[in-house]
Amino acid sequence: MRVPRSSLVALAALMTGTLASAGALSAEMAALDPAPLGAPMNPADPAPPPQTVPAGSDPVSTALPDYKPEAPSAEPAPAPVVTTPVVPTDPLGAAIVSRLADTAPLLPRLTSKERDGIRAFYEAHAYKPLWIADGAWTEGANSVSARLAAAGEDGLDARAYTIPNLAEKPDDKAVADADLRFSAAALRYARDARGGRINLASISRLITPQLDLPNADAVLSKLTDAGSKAGDALQSYNPSTAGYQALKARLGSSRGPAPAAVKPLRLPPGPALRVGMRDARVPLLRAHFGLETRPAGTLDRGPGEPEEYDATVADAVAKFQRGRGLPGNGVLNIQTVLALADAGRPARASGSEAELIVNMERWRWLPGDLGSDYILVNIPEYRLRAYRGGSLRDEARVIVGKPESRTPLFSGLMEYAVVNPSWYVPPSILKTMAPKLAGYGGKTWGGYEVVRHGGHVSLRQPPGERNALGFIKFMFPNQHAVYLHDTPNRSLFSAAKRDFSHGCVRVDDPFRLADAVLPDWSEARLKKLIGKGERTLRLPAKLPVHLAYFTAYVDDGGTFRTLPDLYGYDAPMRAALGLPGGGGPAIAKLPEEKARRKPEAAPVAHAHAAPRREAVRPRRYSDVQPSDRYDEYDSPRRSVRRAARADGAPEYGEPGLWTPAPAPASRGWW
């Protein structure tokens, strides 16, 4: 019987597949065998004969010692590894584990997360004591203990960081309890020093700094590594900024004994004295401050004249000025002469402890490193300051948010500026216009473009001199959608109390600011872009911007100043910190305003009065612009709002302050 050729081909294919399957099965069996396929099961056993690859089989499917079957496309997730905590065998370690398992608190205000962090640190260190050796406190513990006891120097409450007493010969249980409680006190101090004492949301939802609160591992590692300098390491968690240190020094002065009364010195009249001048009053100053009768000689020159007002005399005068709350510039002016003649008045620091501690706490809200170049806006002062290398280089007046639409407190990074910006009327204002816009069919309305998208209507104000954002805005993306920007209402900068905005910060002379922020764009070149369409200019490096709130501070001249509590934050902060005095806002006058470099509006009749609106003829409703029709409904301060529109520009505020903001799409200073 003759077999057809097609049947032979089919039979050959079938056998080839069978052999290949057998090879794959051998590989799978090899994977299950504890020894590789082809290796002896026992070293004494003889090795099997070498394997041969059957003809027609797939070599990859053949059992080889290093063959591993291809992993499936979706492997099941591996089972989680369960680690059993290491239980120490020594009695002291077991006592620490037992104390950690106890539900008794280690310290008031210590959170469960902080306690878990302490537990993890001790576990990583085999449950060995950190602060006690041979039944006594270590040098590092004594150093930390001294800093905790002196917590009041930094406005903290030393009673919040109680240190347990250690018996002369403590047992393991007492050592474990004392060591853990000591760690808890050090951790709590470090976090409080970085701003962890207050729930800021309880003060205001617009206080949203990114606090740099250290965790247990960072604090305990830093302190234990510092050894006998652990107290200094703990102190370093407090702010090191000059503003904080000045308030701290004033707090220490206010708590110490009153300085001795300065002997009065009545000087004859004369001109103000500066270094290099000669005057007959100089010998009297030398004698009063206990200085040499004449300037000391040097290798290049002989002794000076007794009447020479040199740097030594100026330094003594500056020190006296700072002690009396005067600018410490060393110039013998009329204020200094009157202070010298003030018979016996003690030069004690002014300002209550509570206001000093409250404002020291606000420094903790700022980053530990403000940046080499940065902008600091002090909201109650209505002033922006620009710093370079930590030194003040220039400042400008600003307008901030009204008490009912406050400027938030936080730090951000300025990324770009926009010249000729457009402005979209925010929903909080647009809702008052909605009834009039519902049936309006035009594309423009009172200078605004009507933008329709589906069933929604919005108003866009094109770039121009009447735009609510002015000619330029500076953007630092944040959750509050606020920024620095220009304004067409220049006259508002003449007022001493400048809380007119909806939350953003309006800057006087913004092109001067832009000239420094944008290194490739001079003020003159930027102004040439006006009227040429919206343009975005990115900064070469992100610039830190800090929106802060200080109602008490020491200025660069050494003068202590207080400001009205614009938003009423002082009283709730005193209450949260357990300080006395929960009264109303502080009553204080603003410091003397410096003359503006480039005035753009005529001065008003009274420094504290809003600019008056000039008389205009009565207008029909059809003559009134949309900004006049609806602006007064947006704020109860109708008289101020009318004044804000004295130059005819719209005065609405800033977009997005009370609505969720969308996702955010150096050089030195002056």
Percent of the chain with pLDDT over 70: 67
Q: Characterize the bridge pairing of strands 552-554 and 560-562.
A: antiparallel
Residue 603: predicted pLDDT: 38
Residue 589: pLDDT over 50: no
Q: How far apart are CA 96 and CA 92, in angstroms?
A: 6
Mean pLDDT value of segment 138-143: 96
Mean pLDDT value of segment 512-537: 85
Residue 79: predicted pLDDT: 62
> Which has the higher per-residue pLDDT, 376 or 556?
376
Comparing 110-119, 302-311, 418-427, 561-570, the range with the smallest average pLDDT is 418-427
Q: How far apart are CA 577 and CA 400, in angstroms?
A: 27
Residue 6: predicted pLDDT: 52
Residue 62: predicted pLDDT: 39
Mean pLDDT value of segment 660-668: 34
Residue 538: pLDDT over 50: yes
List the one residue out of 383, 426, 387 whose CA is nearest residue 561.
383
With cut-offs at 50, 70 and 90, classify the pLDDT of residue 628.
Answer: very low
pLDDT digits (tens, 9 = 90+) for 593-608: 454 444 343 333 333 3
Q: Which of 312-316, 320-324, 532-536, 625-629: highest mean pLDDT? A: 312-316
Q: How far apart are CA 375 and CA 417, in angstroms?
A: 15
With cut-offs at 50, 70 and 90, classify the pLDDT of residue 56.
Answer: very low
Residue 257: predicted pLDDT: 62
What is the second-level CATH architecture of the domain 368-551+586-644? Beta Barrel (2.40)
Tokens of 93: 């370690």
For the question of whether the overall pTM of this predicted structure is more than 0.85, the answer is no
Residue type, 356: L
pLDDT digits (tens, 9 = 90+) for 155-195: 999 999 998 888 888 999 999 999 999 999 999 999 999 99
Q: How far apart are CA 649 and CA 164, in angstroms?
A: 66
Residue 444: predicted pLDDT: 65
Mean pLDDT value of segment 207-221: 96
With cut-offs at 50, 70 and 90, classify the pLDDT of residue 299.
Answer: low
pLDDT digits (tens, 9 = 90+) for 83-117: 556 677 899 999 999 999 999 999 999 999 999 99
Comparing 6-10, 89-93, 203-207, 645-649, the range with the smallest average pLDDT is 645-649
Mean pLDDT value of segment 404-431: 85
> Which has the higher per-residue pLDDT, 488 or 456?
488
Tokens 């030398």 sit on residue:
286
Comparing 194-198, 447-451, 559-563, the range with the smallest average pLDDT is 447-451
With cut-offs at 50, 70 and 90, classify the pLDDT of residue 263.
Answer: confident
Residue 213: pLDDT over 60: yes
Reduce the DSSP state of residue 459 to 3 states and report it.
strand
Residue 32: pLDDT over 60: no
Q: Hey, what long-range contacts does 323-327 have (CB within 8 A, 24 or more apart)? A: 323/259, 323/262, 323/347, 325/350, 325/558, 325/559, 325/560, 326/557, 326/558, 326/559, 327/555, 327/557, 327/558, 327/559
Give yes or no for a contact between 633 and 450, defined as CB atoms under 8 angstroms apart.
no
Residue 565: pLDDT over 50: yes
Q: How far apart are CA 215 and CA 197, in angstroms?
A: 15
User: For residue 229, how many C-alpha atoms fall within 13 Å in the half-sphere facing its CB?
Assistant: 6
Give yes or no for a contact between 69 and 29, defined as CB atoms under 8 angstroms apart.
no
Residue 443: predicted pLDDT: 67
pLDDT digits (tens, 9 = 90+) for 425-480: 766 666 666 666 656 655 666 667 777 777 677 777 777 777 777 888 999 999 99
Residue 22: predicted pLDDT: 46
Residue 626: pLDDT over 60: no
Q: Hey, what long-range contacts does 262-268 have (CB within 8 A, 24 or more apart)? A: 262/320, 262/323, 262/340, 262/344, 262/345, 262/347, 263/288, 263/344, 264/340, 264/341, 264/342, 264/343, 264/344, 265/340, 265/341, 266/340, 266/341, 267/337, 267/340, 267/341
Q: Where are the domains of the chain?
A: 5-61, 91-238, 368-551+586-644
Residue 439: predicted pLDDT: 60
Comparing 52-56, 466-470, 613-617, the range with the smallest average pLDDT is 613-617
* Mean of pLDDT over the chain: 76
Residue 471: predicted pLDDT: 83
Residue 72: predicted pLDDT: 52
> What is the DSSP secondary-structure string of 184-235?
HHHHHHHHHHTT-SS-HHHH-TTB--------HHHHHHHHHHHGGGHHHHHH
Q: b/e string for 570-582 if b means 16 or more Cβ within 10 A? A: bbebbebbebeee
pLDDT digits (tens, 9 = 90+) for 159-169: 999 988 888 88
Residue 354: predicted pLDDT: 93
Residue 326: pLDDT over 90: no
Mean pLDDT value of segment 602-619: 38
With cut-offs at 50, 70 and 90, classify the pLDDT of residue 64.
Answer: very low
Residue 289: pLDDT over 80: yes
List the one residue out of 536, 244, 538, 550 whose CA is nearest residue 413.
538
Give yes or no for a contact between 530 and 420, defined as CB atoms under 8 angstroms apart.
yes
Give yes or no for a contact between 650 and 627, defined as CB atoms under 8 angstroms apart.
yes
With cut-offs at 50, 70 and 90, classify the pLDDT of residue 19.
Answer: very low
> Which has the higher per-residue pLDDT, 476 or 295?
476
Residue 580: predicted pLDDT: 84
List the one residue out of 488, 487, 491, 490 whose CA is nearest residue 604.
491
Mean pLDDT value of segment 33-57: 44
Residue 629: predicted pLDDT: 29
Reduce the DSSP state of residue 122 to 3 states and report it.
helix
Residue 460: predicted pLDDT: 75
Residue 231: pLDDT over 80: yes
